[in-house]
Amino acid sequence: MDVIPSAAAPVVRLIEEFHKLPGVGPKSAQRLTYYLLRAPEEEARALAQAILEVKEKITFCSICENVTDRDPCLIC
């Protein structure tokens, strides 16, 4: 992936992490990174918190594989 050679290590790392997401190519990863750099700090923190909250609280139902916050899900 072509990353700006003069970019600081945290910028390069964020671009690389975004690029790992499905459907996010190198240019989109750079755009997302530079968007977050220009965004208010609260917006970046809210995004980071939302990602962590999903990873901590959301799972897949062991019966139907629905996305849920409890297992089994409300449908099952």
Query: Domain-by-domain residue ranges, the chain?
Result: 9-68
Task: Please check the confidence at residue 3 and state whether its pLDDT lies above 70.
Answer: no
Least confident of 4-8, 30-34, 61-65: 4-8
Task: Please check the confidence at residue 47 and state whether its pLDDT lies above 80.
Answer: yes
Three-class SS of the chain: CCCCCCCCHHHHHHHHHHHCCCCCCHHHHHHHHHHHHHCCHHHHHHHHHHHHHHHHHCEECCCCCCEECCCCCCCC
pLDDT confidence of residue 5: 66
**CATH classification number, 9-68, choose in 3.40.50.1820, 2.40.50.100, 3.50.50.60, 1.10.8.420:** 1.10.8.420
pLDDT confidence of residue 7: 84
pLDDT confidence of residue 6: 77
Least confident of 2-6, 8-12, 19-23: 2-6
